[in-house]
């Protein structure tokens, strides 16, 4: 844990030796922050940057109950929900998403998403490769690749921040750095990341007391400047001090600075995990918007648990089937997601910030005997918004029971190629060296989705 201006023994200049020597120990994958900055080695961007917010729905959301309803299918396929019209003629979605329906012109639905393998893993939604392929290839997530290729936009802001929560399974990897190296691992402002940002005992859960927090930062900066010790540090350690003592990142994470009406629009979530999944913490969506405004290039968020097989005899999901769970989960997701996209438009960021919302597979067309839907990697779907993409449309379709892609199958990696394109990265012409120095392309499917750009 990093402690700035701690209480252990002080030098003659008044600075705590223990605190100062650990100023660069914000560990990501075993490297100190100065090492991370050396590896990134990029200067701050001089123009407004492009960014991506990735929303991962762990477990695989039921595509045919959310954005690809089949009201004419047999009862054992179509489920309990009815479709409703949206603001875009001809597009219908689930009745439990009325706010999303009213904003359909700001979203695109892909209904023919292919390329899943049936594994529970966040890797597919963060890199385009499944769990096993990701391990075998040592594949970096998009955020780590962008960190490597583009570096930070500002010395005090990490390029990749992950608020995805850990889980007791493979769902919750926060973003694999792969062959980009641990210097490009995500900064995590929860869990260990919170411990790494302790300032005189003031942690991020006490950000509401801004005066005390900023006073701690300011006092440390004054102590360091007065000591003259910082003049002897190399440029990367100075940048590490800048990251750890700048209020820029802290303020971005401090949602108490927002208008209460804006905070209410996103809704209040909980940091209690949903069974063996992740929490539904709506505030992370607001933090994501604030982080990209502060200069972060990629922010990942996980939300809930969407593995709706059936009811269980024990735990939080007792006596709750696919439809019972979705009745609860969909309004929560809708509130946070529509607030985020509305916010981006209201702040003029709709061309600069891309949003993707998806899970690692779809669900079985046929409802099982317990009212659940099982794993179905053959086809799934996703929502896209922002990034200057063409919205208000549906791409692709599925067969009568939502079993297979009927036309225009879109691979997960094509979505990634589009997201990279929105950042100004042409993956068809861009490679990165792996740990053996061999050039590696980031994707196998490298063409952006033509209907979006």
Model confidence pLDDT, tens digit, residues 268-314: 999 999 988 999 999 999 999 999 999 999 999 999 999 999 765 55
Q: What is the DSSP string of 161-190?
A: EE-PPP-SSGGG-----GGG-GGGSPB-SS
Q: Say whether 195 sits in a helix, a strand or coil.
A: helix
The token duo for 62 is: 């039921």
Q: Apex CA 126: angle with CA 49 and CA 191, to 5°?
A: 90
- For 332-361, letters b (16+ CB in 10 Å) and e give bbbbbbbbbbbbbeeeebbebbbbbbbbbb
Q: In Å, what is the CA distance from 53 to each residue of 213, 290, 378, 380?
A: 27, 11, 25, 20
Q: In Å, what is the CA distance from 285 to each residue of 80, 98, 163, 265, 303?
A: 29, 19, 9, 11, 10
The token duo for 452 is: 């979006």
- Would you place residue 174 in the very low, low, confident or very high pLDDT band (cuts 50, 70, 90)? confident
Residues in the chain: 453
Q: In Å, what is the CA distance from 48 to each residue of 58, 101, 103, 168, 247?
A: 32, 31, 26, 38, 20
The conformation of residue 153, written as its DSSP 8-state character, comes to S
- With 90 as the cut, is the pLDDT of residue 113 above it? yes
Regarding predicted confidence, which is higher, 306 or 229?
306
Task: Provide mean pLDDT across the span 24-44.
Answer: 47
For the CA atoms of 121, 122, 123, 125, the dihedral, rounded to the nearest 10 degrees, stands at 120
Longest dimension (CA), the chain: 80
Model confidence pLDDT, tens digit, residues 76-99: 999 999 999 999 999 999 999 999
Structure-token match 């701050």, residue found: 44
Domain boundaries along the sequence of the chain: 3-42+51-441
The answer to whether the predicted template modeling score (pTM) of the entire model surpasses 0.75 is: yes
**Would you tell me the crossing angle of helices 235-245 and 210-227 to the nearest 10 degrees?**
160
- Would you place residue 204 in the very low, low, confident or very high pLDDT band (cuts 50, 70, 90)? very low
Spatial CB neighbours of 231, under 8 Å, sequence gap ≥ 6: none
Spatial CB neighbours of 39, under 8 Å, sequence gap ≥ 6: 31, 181, 183, 184
Residue from 22, 16, 24, 13 nearest 227 by CA: 13
Q: What pLDDT is attached to residue 149?
A: 97
Q: Would strands 362-363 and 375-376 be described as parallel, antiparallel, or unpaired?
A: antiparallel
Q: Say whether 154 sits in a helix, a strand or coil.
A: strand
Regarding predicted confidence, which is higher, 168 or 365?
365
Residue 87 near residue 103, CB atoms below 8 Å: yes
Task: Provide mean pLDDT across the span 218-247.
Answer: 57
* Bridge partner list, 193: none
Task: Provide mean pLDDT across the span 208-230.
Answer: 56
Q: What pLDDT is attached to residue 227?
A: 56
In what helix (H) or strand (E) does residue 52 lie, and over which residues does it extend? Answer: strand 51-56
């Amino acid at each position: 844990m990093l402690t700035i201006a701690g209480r252990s023994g002080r030098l003659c200049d008044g600075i705590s030796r223990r605190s100062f020597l650990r100023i660069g120990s914000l560990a990501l994958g075993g490297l100190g922050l100065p090492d991370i900055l050396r590896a990134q080695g990029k200067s701050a961007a001089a123009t407004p940057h492009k960014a991506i917010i990735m929303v991962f729905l762990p477990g695989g959301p039921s595509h045919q109950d959310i954005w690809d309803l089949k009201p004419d299918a047999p009862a054992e396929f179509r489920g309990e929900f009815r479709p409703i019209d949206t603001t875009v003629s001809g597009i219908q979605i689930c009745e439990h998403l009325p706010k999303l329906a009213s904003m359909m012109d700001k979203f695109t639905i892909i209904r023919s998403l292919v390329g899943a393998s049936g594994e529970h893993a966040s890797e597919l939604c963060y890199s385009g490769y499944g769990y096993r392929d990701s391990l075998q290839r040592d594949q970096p997530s998009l955020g780590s690749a962008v960190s490597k290729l583009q570096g930070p936009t500002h010395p005090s802001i990490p390029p990749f921040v992950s608020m995805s929560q850990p889980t007791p399974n493979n769902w919750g990897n926060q973003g694999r750095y792969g062959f980009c190296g641990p210097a490009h691992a995500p900064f995590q402002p929860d869990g260990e990341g919170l411990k790494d940002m302790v300032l005189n005992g003031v942690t991020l859960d006490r950000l509401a007391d801004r005066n005390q927090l900023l006073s701690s930062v300011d006092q440390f900066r004054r102590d360091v400047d007065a000591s003259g010790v910082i003049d002897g540090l190399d440029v990367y350690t100075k940048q590490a001090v800048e990251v750890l003592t700048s209020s820029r990142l802290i303020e971005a994470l401090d949602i108490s600075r927002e208008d209460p009406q804006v905070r209410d629009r996103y809704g209040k979530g909980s940091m209690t995990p949903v069974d063996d999944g992740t929490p539904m913490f709506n505030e992370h969506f607001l933090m994501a918007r604030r982080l990209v405004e502060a200069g972060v290039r990629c922010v990942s968020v996980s939300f809930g648990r969407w593995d709706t097989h059936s009811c269980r005899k024990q735990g939080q999901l007792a006596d709750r089937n696919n439809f019972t769970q979705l009745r609860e989960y969909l309004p929560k997701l809708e509130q946070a997601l529509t607030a985020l996209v509305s916010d981006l438009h209201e702040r003029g960021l709709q061309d600069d910030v891309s949003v993707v919302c998806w899970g690692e597979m779809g669900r079985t067309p046929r409802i099982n005997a317990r009212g659940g839907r099982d794993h179905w990697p053959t086809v799934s779907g996703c929502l896209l918004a922002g990034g200057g993409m063409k919205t208000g449309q549906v791409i692709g379709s599925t067969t009568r029971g939502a079993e297979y892609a009927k036309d225009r199958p879109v691979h997960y990696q094509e979505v990634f190629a589009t997201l990279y394109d929105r950042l100004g990265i042409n993956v068809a012409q861009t490679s990165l060296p792996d740990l053996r120095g061999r050039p590696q392309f980031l994707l196998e499917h490298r063409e952006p989705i033509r209907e979006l750009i």
